[in-house]
Chains A and B, each alone.
Chain A
């Protein structure tokens, strides 16, 4: 059985979305899609699950808030309570209003930075990471579908041409890989 990979290039986002729908209908397997800009509806067309990063961000924010509360309670109330400007620091609740700005700032600080770090780690983005887009045009104006060819390559090629593909490249898998 011949199982090659195909790199199918499109030059328009609307044609790409239609093509993906048709490819999905024919039950071909799409490995990955590379686009130069966020194409709306692409994640739905591919059946990607919604990202859970905002749930994590909420948790990160709660961590930041908790650290801020614990830190200020320890520093101002527990470790060395002082009477500054006639406003004694002997109880957390009474001093809490003065702590609100920093509670807020630390919540934002933790939520924002940990969210971005999570995004970079999950999407494998960091300095010295090698780019893996198969065609450099996908950051310019081309849209690329990386898919499996299935059994009948010629029939598939005709079908893809009909969906509006600009070029189709067959990537032969190494025999060693098998």
Chain B
């Protein structure tokens, strides 16, 4: 027992009187029982939204990008807003699984699996938008440096858009193998419990024949640690490069050196909000309150508060630097952002992202599930507006007043966005019924140090 000591001041991360077998049973339950009516209702809604999105995408590809509300002045709008929003959401998954692993934070173990799933599903949504935006998505492979017959016309490695291709593809694939490697022991657990032959076959296939030999575990832990070490700078680089799509341009409002850290903080902020939204529902529906505890929710709220404040600092720094730079174009861009025709978007961004997370300073509010849920939704809306503000307000008043205009989305723009949310939830709902949603092998390894029953046992001995 001595090797499992943890300071009594730390709150338990696994509530109730759980044994190793109880953890197995609790985590296998959602997979082994048929989904209830609520799941089917949620799934049908998500599927309908997804299909609506597919229709809108088909229409866009059939008629061209003119189906969107873009015009000569505002050439980037909802598409890129959605792209950055989804990529940002993805970042929390890697942060939870990689950065918190390096910092040896045990509380990540209750939430890392779902957060990583969210990463992968949201990066898929993100990837959709630039590909549709190409207009001819069947030529998407032209983005890769493939020897070709066009006079050997290569891609431009000076372009941040190309950096993005490499960053996002690396991020998606590395996150996927990180997730899957962690899943092997848990799939094996489901496989060894399965009674239905078909289920057994599927889980045998996807668990890659994992058996849990001592040497395998040794390698497994080393691989997880090194992957975490690689994924940590990777996740920072991905949103840095996304921000460079804007920061390396010469457009006032985009051309700012603060963008990389500011975007990364914003990404973590919005990602944690999305994890919060998903897990508050999932812990209730899948009866996982013992593993995703109020302590987890509170810690996530604290991160939301901190990153929200960093983002707030960045907003204010931007305003200050615009004034301090003495560049009139910069000054106009930021003044116009806050007081111009899109003032309401700026106002939404400021209240949702800077003001709303500040209520987490109060212990009573950050330990309330309802408040956490509401704030997480508010933050997600706010972060969408942040990207919209950066992209559209910087473009709609360009250097020639004769081309000044406004952007209004068509129903196709809205449809594709709703479709991507639908697609995300279709994937997540399927995941919640077929994957072990908590890294049970890892949770078992902290049961003796952080389980409520074991902590009580130790307290009584002292």
Contacts and interface: CB of A to CB of B under 8 A. Distances in A.
A138 B212 CA distance: 8
Contact of B210 (A48, A76, A125, A141): A125
Nearest to A71: B145
Contacts of B213: 32-34, 123
A40 B5 CA distance: 13
Contacts of B223: 53, 115-116, 119
Interface in B201-223: 204-223
Interface in A29-50: 32-43, 46, 48, 50
Contact of A108 (B170, B217, B219): B170
A105 B169 CA distance: 9
A141 B214 contact: no
A84 B157 CA distance: 10
A115 B214 contact: no
Contacts, number: 206
Interface stretch (B184-192, B285-293, B322-330): B184-192
A4 B379 CA distance: 63
Given A41-B3, A101-B167, A111 B158 contact: no
A123 B220 CA distance: 9
A113 B222 CA distance: 14
Given A76-B158, A136-B192, A53 B181 contact: no
B233 interface: yes
A89 B192 contact: no
Interface stretch (B17-25, B71-79, B115-123, B346-354): B17-25
Given A35-B212, A133-B212, A140-B193, A108 B158 contact: no
A106 interface: yes
A129 B153 CA distance: 44
A53 B237 contact: no
Interface in A96-139: 98-99, 101-102, 104-106, 108-109, 111-113, 115-116, 119-120, 122-133, 136-139
Contact of B441 (A38, A104, A109, A115): A38
Nearest to A68: B166
A155 B157 CA distance: 71
A125 B208 contact: yes
A51 interface: yes
B189 A130 contact: no
Given A35-B217, A104-B237, A131-B191, A89 B170 contact: no
A156 interface: no
B219 A122 contact: yes
Contact of A38 (B156, B220, B241): B220
Contacts of B153: 80
Given A38-B220, A131-B188, A108 B233 contact: yes
Contact of B219 (A35, A51, A130): A51
A1 interface: no
Contacts of B217: 35, 37-39, 42-43
B444 A43 contact: no
Given A32-B214, A101-B163, A131-B188, A141 B20 contact: yes
Nearest to B248: A98
Nearest to A42: B214
A95 interface: yes
B313 interface: no
Chain A interface size, under 10 / 10 to 19 / 20 to 34 / 35 or more = 35 or more
B157 A72 contact: yes
B212 A48 contact: no
A133 B174 contact: no
Given A42-B217, A76-B158, A115-B226, A109 B445 contact: no
A75 interface: yes
A178 interface: no
Nearest to B447: A37
A98 B208 contact: no
A87 interface: yes
Contacts of B460: none
Contact of B442 (A37, A39, A75): A37
B387 to A, nearest CB: 21
B147 to A, nearest CB: 10
A7 B209 CA distance: 20
Contact of A131 (B158, B204, B215, B445): B204
Interface of B: 1, 3-4, 19-21, 24, 145, 152-158, 160, 162-163, 166-167, 169-170, 173-174, 177-178, 181, 184-185, 188-189, 191-193, 204-223, 226-227, 230-231, 233-234, 237, 241, 244, 440-442, 444-445, 448
Given A54-B226, A141-B24, 8 more contacts: A36-B212, A37-B444, A42-B218, A76-B157, A98-B157, A101-B237, A105-B163, A132-B211
19 contacts: A14-B448, A34-B211, A35-B212, A36-B189, A37-B217, A48-B214, A89-B158, A101-B160, A108-B233, A112-B230, A113-B173, A113-B177, A115-B223, A115-B227, A125-B184, A125-B208, A139-B191, A139-B192, A141-B19
